[in-house]
């Protein structure tokens, strides 16, 4: 693997013969070639999914739509080529995984459009493809502009400000919109977006930058209680502030998932920064306590919990805003069974919001448990790559940011799929990369771009390989 070349021996060394050979650093395109192979595979899967949808739902192949899809494949290739130039050592798995998830999502949204009989700009799938193109271009721009992730650490307080403003934006009268009880959207004219999606990147940058400087004092141990080494009382300020913010989101924006997402992100990052389990236990205690009080005192939280625990109760099922959607999703999953009804051959359109919040139920119905687990495996691989990038990091900020970004995505997948499969109460978050929604797509592609950038600055190319039998 490594190549050697001769160089001039350094003078004055006691063992001059050892300096007769030095190592030439290799600069391989190996990683990018692997990425290219996997990316072609990913585009192939997307094409196959769209073709199967057309065969299943229409009984024939419609080449026009496949043409649009090919356009997206070209943009993915442009991103791959950009990586060859600006980040040659970046992780080779992230782009193919994300492309596959996004492509499967588009195929499913297209399938639901066919069931609803909508075409052109009215259809979600065409809009989703446009957003995918925008998201990929934004991600490419991020890769080109952010050449060194350490520069982001300088903007940590700007990131904090941006994150808080984005979180508060939906609460502003006039532009904030309430959809399905949750106040998470902002609408300006015909455009609406979910600012919370972008806020998670800003907050991950802020938490990483803040914890790098604060980790020393936060890891000092105070009193020991029941064998648990608690942090000092005076260090509790930051966690209480984040907890209050999470509770404010729960009370005013009426969304348990968003609240859990940001608080979980902070807990994991403080745990990674300090290595103290007591922070996690303390934080979970605070959050569960707050959520229980909210479930008792706020009617909509209580409703969500009731719709979760008593989903099959006829009165809950038939109530306005009851468990109808959740139960329809579960019926869909059940009719899919092990290998699914086949793309284009089920009735996923019976579930309300099948193309966004419940896309996992739609995919589960048509691809079955086998297909759903393949999708989950892709998420696991993505998160595992992110943690790996964090683990291999050379600087503390990069490590924390890598772990934080990967975790926030994994937690979001858990919250959404846990909600749809009735593991936790249902919330209004989107499934990353799969669900219809522009702000979510852009935010998650930017996360992918940041992880690619981190992996390029971080990844160690072997400087020397010693094989025993060499």
CB of 361 to other proteins, least distance (A): 18
- The answer to whether 21 contacts other proteins (rule: CB under 8 A) is yes
Question: What end-to-end distance do the CA atoms of the chain give, in Å?
Answer: 11
CB of 249 to other proteins, least distance (A): 35
- The answer to whether 62 contacts other proteins (rule: CB under 8 A) is no
Q: Following DSSP, what letter does each residue of 437-463 receive, concatenated?
A: -HHHHHHHHHHHHHHHHHHHHHPPPPS
What is the Cα–Cα distance from 305 to 326, expressed in whole angstroms?
12
What is the Cα–Cα distance from 3 to 410, expressed in whole angstroms?
40
* Count of residues that bind other proteins according to CB under 8 A: 59
Stretch of 162-170, 305-313, 351-359, 453-461 lying at the interface with other proteins (CB under 8 A): 453-461
Q: Compute how many other C-beta atoms are within 10 angstroms of the C-beta atom of residue 62.
A: 14
**56, 176, 222, 418: which one binds other proteins (CB under 8 A):** 56
- Mapped onto helix, strand or coil, the DSSP state of residue 435 is coil
Place of tokens 């930058």: 209
CB of 24 to other proteins, least distance (A): 10
Q: H/E element holding 5?
A: strand 3-6
Q: Contact 399/390 with Cβ under 8 angstroms?
A: yes
The Cβ-side half-sphere exposure at 148, using a 13 Å CA radius, reads 6
- The answer to whether 343 contacts other proteins (rule: CB under 8 A) is yes
Q: Name residues whose C-beta falls within 8 Å of residue 114's C-beta, 6 or more positions apart in sequence.
A: 53, 54, 57, 58, 344
Residues forming a β-bridge with 192:
187
Q: Compute how many other C-beta atoms are within 10 angstroms of the C-beta atom of residue 244.
A: 12
CB of 59 to other proteins, least distance (A): 6
- The answer to whether 65 contacts other proteins (rule: CB under 8 A) is no
- The answer to whether 395 contacts other proteins (rule: CB under 8 A) is yes
- The answer to whether 465 contacts other proteins (rule: CB under 8 A) is yes
Site residues (CB under 8 A) for other proteins, limited to 100-159: 100
Place of tokens 């799929």: 417
CB of 295 to other proteins, least distance (A): 38
What is the Cα–Cα distance from 298 to 311, expressed in whole angstroms?
19
Q: 174 vs 468, which CB is nearer to other proteins?
A: 468
**29, 33, 41, 252: which one binds other proteins (CB under 8 A):** 41
- The answer to whether 92 contacts other proteins (rule: CB under 8 A) is yes
What is the Cα–Cα distance from 286 to 266, expressed in whole angstroms?
13
- Mapped onto helix, strand or coil, the DSSP state of residue 46 is helix
**188, 191, 314, 460: which one binds other proteins (CB under 8 A):** 460
- The answer to whether 467 contacts other proteins (rule: CB under 8 A) is yes
Stretch of 19-27, 132-140, 183-191, 412-420 lying at the interface with other proteins (CB under 8 A): 19-27
- The answer to whether 381 contacts other proteins (rule: CB under 8 A) is yes
Stretch of 63-71, 96-104, 232-240, 411-419 lying at the interface with other proteins (CB under 8 A): 96-104
Q: At what angle are helices 396-420 and 195-218 packed, to 10 degrees?
A: 130
Interface contacts to other proteins, rule CB under 8 A: 1, 4, 13, 15, 17-23, 34, 38, 41-42, 44-45, 48-49, 52, 55-56, 59, 92-93, 96-97, 100, 339-340, 342-343, 345, 367-368, 370-371, 374-375, 377-378, 381, 384, 388, 392, 394-395, 459-470
């Amino acid at each position: 693997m490594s190549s050697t070349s001769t160089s001039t021996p350094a003078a004055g060394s006691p063992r001059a013969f050892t300096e007769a050979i030095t190592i030439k650093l290799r600069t391989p395109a190996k990683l990018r070639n692997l990425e290219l192979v996997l990316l072609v595979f990913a585009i192939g899967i997307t094409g196959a999914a769209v073709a199967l949808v057309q065969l299943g739902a229409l009984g024939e192949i419609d080449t026009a739509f496949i043409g649009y899809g090919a356009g997206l494949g070209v943009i993915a290739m442009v991103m791959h080529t950009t990586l060859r130039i600006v980040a040659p050592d970046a992780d080779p798995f992230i782009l193919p995984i994300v492309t596959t998830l996004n492509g499967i999502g588009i195929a499913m949204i297209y399938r639901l459009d066919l069931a609803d009989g909508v075409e052109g700009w009215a259809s979600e799938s065409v809009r989703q493809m446009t957003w995918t193109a925008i998201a990929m271009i934004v991600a490419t721009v991020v890769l080109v502009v952010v050449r060194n992730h350490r520069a982001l650490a300088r903007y940590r307080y700007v990131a904090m400000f941006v994150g808080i403003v984005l979180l508060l934006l939906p609460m502003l009268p006039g532009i904030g919109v309430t959809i399905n009880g949750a106040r998470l959207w902002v609408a300006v004219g015909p455009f609406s977006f979910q600012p919370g999606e972008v806020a998670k990147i800003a907050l991950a940058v802020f938490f990483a930058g803040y914890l790098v400087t604060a980790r020393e004092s936060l890891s000092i141990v105070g009193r020991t209680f029941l064998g648990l080494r608690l942090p000092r009382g005076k260090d509790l300020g930051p966690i209480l502030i984040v907890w209050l913010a999470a509770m404010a989101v729960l009370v005013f924006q009426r969304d348990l998932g968003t609240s859990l997402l940001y608080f979980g992100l902070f807990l994991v990052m403080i745990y990674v920064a300090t290595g103290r389990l007591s922070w996690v236990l303390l934080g979970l205690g605070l959050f569960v306590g707050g959520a229980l009080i909210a479930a008792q005192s706020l009617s909509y939280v209580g409703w969500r919990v009731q719709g979760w625990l008593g989903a099959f109760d006829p009165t809950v099922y038939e109530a306005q805003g009851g468990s109808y959607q959740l139960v329809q999703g579960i019926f869909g999953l059940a009719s899919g069974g092990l290998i699914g009804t086949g793309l284009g051959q089920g009735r996923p359109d019976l579930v309300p919001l099948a193309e966004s919040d419940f896309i996992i139920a739609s995919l589960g119905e048509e691809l079955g448990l086998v297909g759903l687990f393949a999708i989950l495996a892709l998420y696991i691989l993505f998160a595992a790559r992110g943690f790996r990038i964090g683990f291999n990091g050379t600087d503390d900020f990069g490590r924390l940011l890598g772990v934080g970004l990967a975790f926030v995505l994994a937690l979001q997948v858990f919250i959404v799929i846990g909600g749809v499969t009735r593991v936790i109460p249902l919330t209004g978050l989107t499934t990353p990369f799969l669900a219809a929604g522009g702000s979510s797509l852009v935010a998650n592609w930017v996360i992918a771009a940041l992880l690619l950038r981190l992996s390029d600055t971080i990844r160690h190319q072997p400087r020397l390989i010693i094989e025993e039998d060499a």
